[in-house]
Copies of this chain bind each other. A is one copy, B any other.
């Protein structure tokens, strides 16, 4: 294992440069080719990629910084990126920032140190520090999931998704609607979806929206729903949740309290997680094409790496999915 190109050259009775040429597909006579092949075979020589990269001054690696790995959106997106990148000979280096913004910054510098060719940042928030780091490292970066004027961004049309969902719930006759959102620091999920929803509500005079804020976890959804149920007043007829996870939590809370869905309470989510289809009742939600987004992000970063032009802002469509969790009122 500890063979170097010099060892191989020595054993094959040729010069290092000849071995290198052989390795890189340069012209080598048939005889020497065979000798080198044999020696490599015998020794199990594996080139040292550091030395290679040191000369080449670049790698075929793309880095991605994820806020977490263990969520549906994250794992789908990564799988999509990976598939596309691999198809084109790039390798994906995945960094888990564990939902810690300062780790994202660290990761940007780490990746730069490793001479990664490009970075896809799966963003939840974009701070000034992020921007400074992105500028300083001087490597192509794509923001996925959030938008910033100074960085290539790919976002979902969260406003439209919120609006569509609002319109749908209203069209089903609901007028007293709770909205369980998340922190506004997350512009895409916390602000845009809510704004779209509220726009829809504002178009109906008699409609009323009650806003709540929850964490991202299923258990946060359970908690928020419980406190909502315990307020001593008439329950809204529908609760629109900013994510499928929260919606699942709400459904669980409803089950615990004996509130039938959708008969007494309609519930909706956003995301289109696989499980929303198999649970009962099926969850009405908006499907986000995470896997395809991963594909697209991979294509964009490869273009950027090769100095090809890429749209500064890409907006990805979402798709309403109607299932049984929303009741029609008359």
Contacts and interface: CB of A to CB of B under 8 A. Distances in A.
Interface of A: 1, 44, 46-51, 53-54, 68-72, 74-76, 78-79, 82-83, 86, 91-96, 98, 109-110, 112-115, 136-139, 218, 248-249, 251-252, 255, 274-275, 277-280, 291
Nearest to A136: B44
A93 B93 contact: yes
Nearest to A76: B70
Most buried by B among A78, A109, A249: A78
A92 B82 contact: no
Contact of A249 (B48, B72, B110, B278): B278
Given A48-B115, A252-B280, 13 more contacts: A1-B112, A50-B114, A68-B79, A70-B75, A74-B75, A86-B96, A91-B95, A91-B110, A94-B94, A218-B278, A248-B278, A252-B278, A279-B279
Contacts of A75: 69-71, 74-75
B115 A50 contact: yes
A113 B79 contact: no
B112 A46 contact: yes
A54 B46 contact: no
A74 B69 CA distance: 9
Contacts of A113: 46-49
Contact of A115 (B49, B82, B94, B139): B49
A272 to B, nearest CB: 14
16 contacts: A46-B112, A48-B113, A50-B54, A70-B72, A70-B76, A70-B78, A74-B75, A91-B95, A92-B94, A93-B94, A94-B94, A249-B278, A252-B278, A252-B280, A278-B279, A279-B279
Nearest to A64: B94
A305 to B, nearest CB: 15
B280 A255 contact: yes
The 3 nearest A-B residue pairs measured at CB: A1-B138, A70-B75, A252-B278
